[in-house]
Structure 1
């Protein structure tokens, strides 16, 4: 160990989900199946949306990008988690740990902003249908997406640089990936700046999109209640129910994970919560959207029929 402020750590030991050897095999099979379903579901969603001209609309454009973010988000952490469940060596180098931290924060931020953009898209479609094509044109959609990705990756860079400057007294991470909370707990140096940035800048990035979502749906619900036809109200609400389910699942876990005083952290509970938004939520999202969306179900059915026809031919 060399002197750099206090300690230089060249690699970390990821203690993973459990120390019980008898659980690692079943957990590996379970999470591998969930990860493969994630890749299959989100990959199919991207393929169907890109290959179906009827789905080339702003709503499906953002849904396609959400599927890409979900796949990328899981792929940053899950492969390493799976390898640690079946390998004896559970170390990760400092540089790979910092890289994993950066991309996990970046894709989490991208998901926050994308969910708010999708809520705004539904607001315009339901509350201002006559101006929808003008407001949500192709140029606007691309500009919003580019801005959201830029903000998310700059946000991740800020947190990564603040962690990079720290010295560490311990190399054992009580988690299955390099996340902010367990890394800060290993630091020998003062982490007050990191915690301040988490509760200010990170809170702003997470909560501002959340406020946009709440405002959008307040306007949407008000508009839906003014629709006289019961069928019309049901149809309008059905276009939003899938998105609302995804928002609740994602934001519920994120708020529980990050917006608490550091003294109340329980890393064991955080591991379970992390599994929800790293593994479970990205796997469920394509099924939530496809099961509640008639256009997506029809496009998937046609794609499967074409696949079966081509394989027989």
Structure 2
């Protein structure tokens, strides 16, 4: 019956297929992950906004990353959790909502690699190429909507869309990797020519954690794109897609914020005072020096 449907206003979002015994543990896992992402990233934004000593261009630049993580995970995770309690056959999403979610998802993904103007233009073109196609299918075999999943619904030949997607992906990932290689080569050159052990240790620590997050995003994103071209690997593709969102959202506040001396000191100034006030309220034995 699915192939007889033509431009259906409703689509079936497959989401995560979880057996009954694992629904609540899975829901709890994503709930904890989502709360951690929201609290840590929004906390960094509020800290930079409220502390006058952090009102500098570099720290306002830090705000873009946690804001992007909050945005990207909010458009994906809450709906994913709600769908867990619905049978797979009853997980519906309107075509308009699916296209909107696809646009928001690719906005988040591209913002993690490119500047806003280029990313916004590309997403407009990609979504325009998608909605021009008539769709005969209704099943989104993914945790969320993206352009590749929408292409698969088409009853027309999505050749132009596929070529555009592959070219853009190659340019995006290639330029992103090229910038990383050049940047790290320059950092390595400075470390080799500098005899300052403290500076070199700090550079290695910062770069290794940054590279870890970058590799998580790059490998999971590349895996997701490649697996869209094959059938029977939906579970692996879903895992890669979720890792692309959840991993950086949790690690970015630690890498880009807490390893920055000024932000770390601001956090440490707040935490002891909060602990001391709680200790006073409950009259516990906790020392204020902690």
Give the TM-score range, shorter chain: 0.7 to 0.9
Cα deviation code 1:190-241 (max 9, x no counterpart) = 1111110111123223321321121111111111111012223113333433
Which structure dedicates a bigger proportion of its chain to helix? 1
The answer to whether structure 1 residue 93 and structure 2 residue 94 are counterparts is yes
- The 5-angstrom pairing of residues 1-313 of structure 1 reads 7-88=6-87, 89-113=90-114, 148-259=115-226, 262-263=229-230, 266-290=233-257, 292-308=259-275
Larger RCO (CA under 8 A, 6+ residues apart): 1
Cα deviation code 1:10-51 (max 9, x no counterpart) = 011111111523222211111011001100010111122223
**Root-mean-square deviation over aligned CA pairs:** 2.5
Partner of 2:113: helix, strand, or coil?
A: helix
TM-score (ref. length: structure 1):
0.80
Alignment partners' CA distance in 1, 2:51 and 2:136: 54
Single out whichever of 149-158 and 279-288 deviates more from structure 2: 279-288
Number of aligned residues: 276
Unaligned runs of 5+ in 1: 114-147
C-alpha deviation, 1:52, in angstroms: 3.0
Partner of 1:195: helix, strand, or coil?
A: helix
Contact kept? 2:68, 2:108, Cα under 8 Å: yes
Aligned equivalent of 1:118: none
Single out whichever of 155-164 and 285-294 deviates more from structure 2: 285-294
